[in-house]
C-alpha cells in the first residue's frame, strides 16, 4: 500500500480531530505552568525541566522498538526538517546520524546537564549559575525535537498503543510552559506549528 | 517511503501500560484544584489567624514557609532525576 504524502496538513494524522482533541483530564494546564507566587524562577524552571525530560524519556521509550536505524536512518520531523547532532565533545561538526542515535545523544546530553551540580544544584542553599536560562533554552529546544519526531514519524504507533491523549497532554503542557517563559524560538517550533495552534486553541476555549 | 509496522511486542505493550498509568496519575494530581501547594498556603494563613501574632511575625513565618516550599521542590527534583536515570538505564 502506498502511504499518503505527509506534505498536506489535511493528511497529518495527529491533526485529525479524533486524535488532536484527546487529552487527559479537564483541568486548566495554563494555570499549572504559572510560576507559583513568590517562588524562585530558576527553581521552577529546574523542577519542570526534570519533569519534561522524564516524560519525553518515557514516551520515547514506548516506541524505541519502531525507531531503529533502519526505520529512521536520519533524525527528522517530517520531510522538511532534518536534525544533525552536534555537541562540544564528540561531534564538533553536525553529524547526520539515525534518529535512535540522535535521541540517545540528546537524552544523554540532557541527563549530563541535570546531573551537573554546578548547573542544577541539589544541595540546599547553592545558587543556580548566571547562564542558567541559556542552558534551559538549549535543553528545551532539543527536547522539542523528540516530540516532533514522535508526532511526525511514529504517530500511528502512538495510536495503536492508545497513547495519543498522554502524548498530547504532555506536549500541550510543554508548549504552554515554553510560551510562558519564552524558552524556544518560534522558528524552531515550525515542524509542529499547526498542531501547536490547534492545541492552544483548545486551551482558550476551556 | 517504507511501510512501517505498527504491531508492538509484549514488552512494548507492558511498558506503554505503565507509562500511561504514570501520565494519568501525574496529570490527575497536577490538574486537581486546589494544588497541594495552594492548600498548604491556605492552611498556613488559617494558622496565622489563630496565633494572634504581629504582622511582622506573620511576614516572617510566610517567608519561612516559602523557603520550605523551595527546599521541598529542590528535593523533589533530585528524586525525579534519580528515577528518570533508572528508567533511561532500563530502556537502554
Ligand atoms: Zn524514529
Residues A53 and B25: their CA atoms lie apart, in Å, by 17
Looking up cell 523551595, which residue turns up? Answer: B70
Domain that holds residue A77: 39-204
**CA distances (Å), origin A72, targets A65, A132, A168, B1:** 11, 33, 22, 11
* Whether the Cβ atoms of residue A74 and residue A96 lie closer than 8 Å to each other: yes
Cβ distance of B84 and A50 shorter than 8 Å: yes
User: Residue A59 — φ and ψ, nearest 5°?
Assistant: -65, -45
CB-proximal residues (5 Å) to ion ligand 1: A 67, 72, 99, 153
- Identify the CATH number of the domain in which residue A130 sits: 1.20.140.30
Looking at residue A2, its pLDDT comes to: 42
Domain that holds residue B62: 15-91
Which tens digit of pLDDT belongs to each residue from A131-158? 999 999 999 999 999 999 999 999 999 9
- Provide the pLDDT confidence category of residue B78 given band limits of 50, 70 and 90: confident
Residues B47 and A204: their CA atoms lie apart, in Å, by 37
Cβ distance of B27 and A25 shorter than 8 Å: yes
Q: How far is A24 from chain B (nearest CA, A)?
A: 7
Q: Is the pLDDT of residue B60 over 70?
A: yes
Domain membership of residue B55 (yes or no) is yes
Q: What percent of chain A has pLDDT over 70?
A: 92
- Provide the pLDDT confidence category of residue A124 given band limits of 50, 70 and 90: confident
Cβ distance of B37 and A36 shorter than 8 Å: yes
Q: Is the pLDDT of residue B1 over 70?
A: no
Domains: count for chain A: 1
Domain membership of residue B50 (yes or no) is yes
Domain membership of residue A14 (yes or no) is no
Which tens digit of pLDDT belongs to each residue from A33-92? 999 988 999 999 999 999 999 999 999 999 999 999 999 999 999 999 999 999 888 888
Residues A151 and A154: their CA atoms lie apart, in Å, by 6
B 6-45 residues with CB < 8 A to A: 6-9, 12-13, 15-16, 19-20, 22-24, 26-28, 30-33, 35, 37
Mean pLDDT of chain A: 90
All 3 cell numbers of residue A116? 551537573
Residue of B nearest to A125 (CA): B71
User: What average pLDDT does range B28-56 have in this prediction?
Assistant: 86
- Provide the pLDDT confidence category of residue A5 given band limits of 50, 70 and 90: very low
All 3 cell numbers of residue A45? 524552571
Looking at residue B82, its pLDDT comes to: 56
Domains: count for chain B: 1
Of the candidates B69, B74, B5, the one whose C-alpha atom is nearest the C-alpha of residue B39 is: B69
CB nearest to B83's CB, from A47, A54, A162 = A54
- Provide the pLDDT confidence category of residue A9 given band limits of 50, 70 and 90: very low
Amino acid at each position: 500500500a502506498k502511504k499518503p504524502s505527509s506534505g498536506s496538513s489535511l493528511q497529518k494524522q495527529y491533526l485529525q480531530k479524533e486524535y488532536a482533541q484527546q487529552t487527559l483530564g479537564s483541568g486548566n494546564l495554563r494555570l499549572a505552568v504559572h510560576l507559583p507566587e513568590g517562588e524562585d524562577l530558576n527553581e521552577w524552571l529546574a523542577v519542570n525541566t526534570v519533569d519534561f525530560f522524564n516524560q519525553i524519556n518515557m514516551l520515547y521509550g514506548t516506541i524505541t522498538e519502531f525507531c531503529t536505524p533502519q526505520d529512521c536512518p536520519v533524525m527528522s520531523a517530517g520531510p522538511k526538517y532534518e536534525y544533525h547532532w552536534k555537541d562540544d565533545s564528540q561531534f564538533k561538526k553536525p553529524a547526520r546520524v539515525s534518529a535512535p542515535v540522535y535521541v540517545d545523544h540528546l537524552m544523554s546530553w540532557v541527563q549530563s546537564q541535570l546531573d551537573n551540580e554546578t548547573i542544577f544544584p541539589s544541595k540546599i542553599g547553592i545558587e543556580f549559575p548566571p547562564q542558567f536560562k541559556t542552558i534551559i533554552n538549549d535543553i528545551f529546544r532539543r527536547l522539542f525535537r523528540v516530540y516532533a519526531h514522535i508526532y511526525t514519524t511514529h504517530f500511528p504507533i502512538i495510536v495503536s498503543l492508545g497513547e495519543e491523549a498522554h502524548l498530547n497532554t504532555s506536549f500541550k503542557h510543554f508548549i504552554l510552559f515554553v510560551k510562558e517563559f519564552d524558552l524556544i524560538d518560534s522558528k524552531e517550533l515550525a515542524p509542529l506549528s499547526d498542531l501547536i495552534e490547534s492545541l492552544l486553541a483548545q486551551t482558550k476555549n476551556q | 517511503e517504507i511501510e512501517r509496522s505498527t504491531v508492538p511486542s509484549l514488552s512494548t505493550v507492558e511498558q506503554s501500560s505503565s507509562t500511561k498509568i504514570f501520565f494519568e496519575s501525574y496529570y490527575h494530581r497536577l490538574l486537581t484544584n486546589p494544588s497541594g501547594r495552594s492548600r498548604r498556603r491556605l492552611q498556613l494563613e488559617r494558622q496565622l489567624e489563630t496565633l494572634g501574632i504581629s504582622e511582622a511575625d506573620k511576614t516572617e513565618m510566610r517567608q519561612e514557609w516559602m523557603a520550605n516550599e523551595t527546599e521541598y521542590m529542590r528535593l523533589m527534583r533530585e528524586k525525579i532525576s534519580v528515577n528518570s536515570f533508572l528508567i533511561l538505564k532500563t530502556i537502554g
